[in-house]
Chains A and B, each alone.
Chain A
Amino acid sequence: MSNFFEKSDLSRGDAENIISDTLQKCDDGELYLENSKSESILLDDNKIKNSSYSSDLGFGFRAIANEVVAYSHSNEISKNSLKQSAENLKSTLKSAKGVYNHEIAKSNKRYYENINPIDQKTLNDKIEILNNVNKYLRTKDSNVKQVTANFLGEQKSIEIIRSGGETLTDIRPLIRFNVTVMLEKNGRKETGVYGIGGRNSYDSYLKDDNWKNVCDEALRIASVNLESKPAPAGEMKVVLGPGWPAILIHEAVGHGLEGDFNRKKTSAFHNLMGQKVASESVTIVDDGTIDNRRGSLTIDDEGTPTEKTVLIENGILKNFMQDRLNARLMKTKSTGSGRRENYRHIVLPRMRNTMMLNGNHTQDEMIKSVDKGIFAVSFGGGQVDITSGKFVFNCTEAYEIINGKIGSPIKGATLIGDGPSILKEVSMVGNDMMLDPGIGTCGKAGQGVPVGVAQPSILINKMTVGGTKL
């Protein structure tokens, strides 16, 4: 574990005194300390293009009085620096009249090992795999014109010190391995991307030459796209494949169910608690407790143990995702969803692993039921306007469906829908739930955090497909 006070003129006792003094008339707040180490090794254009290492150290000091949040951060852990931050917080919250809430849930459960993935594999081993990826892909298909492959590894140690000296800690490993391949055939270029990762060692994901499977998948997607035709434009039925396409759930309903937007009544869902928001076959949870998943957390960034939060159960809206601030103001409990990108950022309620649970249909049934529509297998990114509820995501692998049969692949198109109504349009939920491969990053208010998604195949009655073919 990191000892944040080891090389500082600031002792733990000093820090505790400053924290307790600053937060005495506040409702909540804490000192958040973070030490992260990360590496990136990139192969591109036949060469190791980049090998870099980063170490980041800093604190964020937060004080909350009623609805007002004062935050100050610095990367100098010193007496002076913390005092300056304390002054800054006090000046914002001069008239605070709160009573500090000491209550915080406890749990001994851990969802990942205390490891540093960076040190567990030598640089030479990582470089060798990247070179093998390059050779493998270029040998496998002569249309391969570009290969990019990279390793990202990280270990983040955090410590939360609350008023009164209560201390919570966590050490979080995270890795990601990604391959992008570009094919060129008859003057046409297309790319395919695939990656894997999570909160474990590189080797746990790469054993048995698993990197080859990642390459094969990227190559398969690019090859499919080389044969793709322009996508249709207009409203039609859409079948989504299992796994990663659940970013539809993440965008369409996940963000709208975050506590802050609902407390502020700016989410299209804010007045729908307890109401039917989806067809009966739809149950959605946000789960931070799955071992080694990218979106899992032992404790959130406020120290609350994470949990499995039921958001929608059999179509009924049950819970929002809450951090401490929004939970207090909405008179409920934190769901362990308080997250921040790093010490430079304030805590916001965020998703972890957002999952739609199994129903009892098969993908085959869904495809057969569609006269004209599309079958979307993989997506790039998505985005939502939580106020109007409109969301989009971009297909990276999709096919047309004609008369109950899968037809030609179609070019990357954006799909657009309306969050609050889309789940009512889900007419079949599959029995083939899959987790995504561990590559998602969710952006909100300029902060990126690792997340996961999962879903079975689903059939949506009506969505707008943003192709070019009228």
Chain B
Amino acid sequence: MIKNQEYLSEKASYCLDIAKKLGATDSSVVVSNSISESVNFRNKKLDESNRSDNLAIGITTYIGKKKSSISSSNLLKENLDTLIEKCIETTKNTPEDEFNSLPDKDLLAKEVKDLNLYDDAHIKNENKIEYLERLEASASSDKKIVNTESSFTEDKSNFILANSDGFSKGYKSSSFTASSVIVAKDDKSMERDYEYTSKCHLHDINSAEELGKIAAEQTIKKLSPKKIGSEKIAIIFDKRIAKGILSTFAGAISSSAISRGTSFLKDKINQKIFSDEIDIFDKPDILKGLGSRSFDSEGVKTNTLKLVEHGLLKHYLIDTYNGKKLNLKSNGRCGGASNLYFDNGNISYKDLLNSNPRCLYITETIGHGSNIVTGDYSVGATGFLIENGDFKYPINEITIAGNFKDMFKNITLANDLEFKYTTNSPTMMIEGMVVAGK
């Protein structure tokens, strides 16, 4: 069973008391417990079962403007005493930083909103197995499929965040995730693809049959890929890749990148960085949202932010420390964005595919080719060639490259937004990127 709020609160207040006794002027603590149970299948047979029970505690102590932190998985009092003592010692020996502080009291969350993030349902391993049997049966219908690996994971977690200004709040959350990774083969090639579903509530996840079918279809479609020549061409990003471009944007507007001057979006507030049609929201209070939260990792309340309005950058993602440095108030984004998404565009998915006589549809990228200092982007890619709206043939061993400053201004979005991940985007087209191939 997951540890309850009382247990976690008791540990948290114990730590705050000890820290104060040992000389901390301020302190904050987070205590969490998570239990995860998963079952993996491979080629229609049980392959692995995994149970994990994680306790964790993180303590930050302040002496004036000096700060240090410790973390541990051992919550025995004796261990906590030793660690906090060590933390205080380190704090004393760490140089002052004028911007170190707990969050402003008036910004702290007053309540924990009921966002319906926890489902008490427990799905036994037998039932996970039954789901995976159906999934893999559905995924293995074609004889080109040579390997299937699927898993079902149930996660439950609970936490308390407390600080010496009297804040002490936390809540439970859950997630149920099923995924399927398929390998297909023909005489020319072997390819892999996947599909997955993850929800806070058990009954919201996709059916096993549907998941298996999609994973298998996507994989078979990739067989016998060709390599194309190098050229400038319009690129359509599947939703699962488009969301990554939004994540890079979030990284570039984080207050730490801005205050350190290491972002290509520094000093761009109220400037046009996207085309007029683009709106970007970060909405923390979506019911059952995978990124939903009542407050950020410092306890600061989080409201919905329209980060980009008609292409203009309106907000950075600000935490307390970097906010103070930038002379801005925290907007409750310590730890990053919540449910971040591009609002829907004006044209349908079909019209987007048809908007150029020839374009590339990218379903997977590999490599770490996003540089938020310069905005340069260059990654390996896999996808399909599209002609007159039709998928012609699969493509691989190419790279796509550009610079985000130009790419952002050339984004066109379809109107097919759905909330499948924490960060979400409709299908996206960017014109004017360079493909390197043969």
Contacts and interface: CB of A to CB of B under 8 A. Distances in A.
Interface of A: 7, 44-45, 47-58, 67-76, 81, 85, 88-89, 91-92, 123-124, 127, 145-146, 182, 184, 188-191, 231, 233-235, 264-266, 268, 344, 346, 380-385, 387-388, 390-394, 411-418, 464-470
A234 B436 contact: yes
Which of A191, A411, A467, A468 has the most chain B CB within a 10 Å cutoff?
A: A468
Contact of A412 (B183, B378, B397): B378
Contact of B72 (A47, A55, A184, A418): A55
A52 B149 CA distance: 39
10 contacts: A49-B97, A53-B68, A55-B71, A70-B49, A92-B46, A189-B373, A385-B192, A388-B190, A388-B225, A464-B398
A75 B382 contact: no
A392 B367 contact: yes
Contacts of A7: 76, 78
A71 B49 contact: yes
A340 to B, nearest CB: 12
B437 interface: yes
A182 B261 contact: yes
B90 A75 contact: no
Contacts of A123: 90, 93-94
Interface string B76-92: 10110001001100110
B435 interface: yes
Interface in B357-405: 364, 366-369, 371, 373-374, 376, 378-380, 382, 396-403
A146 B72 contact: no
B401 A394 contact: no
Nearest to A40: B69
B49 A45 contact: no
A67 B40 CA distance: 12
B251 to A, nearest CB: 14
A414 B51 contact: no
B339 to A, nearest CB: 23
A284 to B, nearest CB: 22
A47 B95 contact: yes
A67 B47 contact: yes
A30 to B, nearest CB: 16
B146 interface: yes
B262 interface: yes
Given A53-B86, A265-B146, A392 B53 contact: no
Contact of B401 (A384, A391, A413): A413
Contacts of B403: 468
Given A71-B48, A385-B192, A412-B378, A418 B95 contact: no
B73 A58 contact: yes
Contacts of A266: 146-147, 183, 190, 192
A100 to B, nearest CB: 19
Nearest to A395: B378
Contacts of A48: 94-95, 97
For chain B, give the interface size range: 35 or more
A414 B379 contact: yes
Contact of B45 (A67, A388, A412): A67
Give chain B's interface secondary structure class. strand
B434 A467 contact: yes
A69 B47 contact: yes
Give chain A's interface secondary structure class. strand
B379 A466 contact: yes
B310 interface: no
B190 A268 contact: yes
B110 interface: no
A192 to B, nearest CB: 11
Given A76-B55, A189-B262, A56 B72 contact: yes
A414 B380 contact: yes
Contact of B53 (A75, A388, A394, A417): A75
B70 interface: yes
Contact of A52 (B70, B79, B434): B70
Interface in B104-156: 125, 146-147, 149
A234 B230 contact: yes
Interface string B176-219: 00000001000001111000000000000000000000000000
A85 B192 contact: no
Contact of A50 (B69, B146, B183, B371): B69
Nearest to B191: A388
Interface in B27-86: 42, 45-55, 67-74, 76, 78-79, 83, 86
B72 A466 contact: no
A127 B93 contact: yes
A92 B436 contact: no
Which of B52, B73, B380, B399 has the most chain A CB within a 10 Å cutoff?
A: B380
Contact of B366 (A51, A184, A392, A464): A392
A51 B376 CA distance: 32
A383 B380 contact: yes
Contacts of A468: 378, 401-403, 434
Nearest to B92: A123
Contact of A73 (B51, B97, B368): B51
B146 to A, nearest CB: 7
A388 B394 CA distance: 13
B404 to A, nearest CB: 12
Nearest to B33: A75
Contact of B93 (A45, A124, A182): A124
B276 interface: no
B369 A344 contact: no
A402 B359 CA distance: 32
Those 9 A-B pairs whose CB atoms lie nearest each other, nearest first: A466-B399, A233-B436, A392-B380, A392-B367, A387-B192, A75-B73, A92-B49, A234-B230, A414-B378
Contacts of A190: 373-374
A394 B438 contact: no
Nearest to B147: A266
Contact of B95 (A127, A188, A387): A127
A70 B37 CA distance: 11
B414 to A, nearest CB: 26
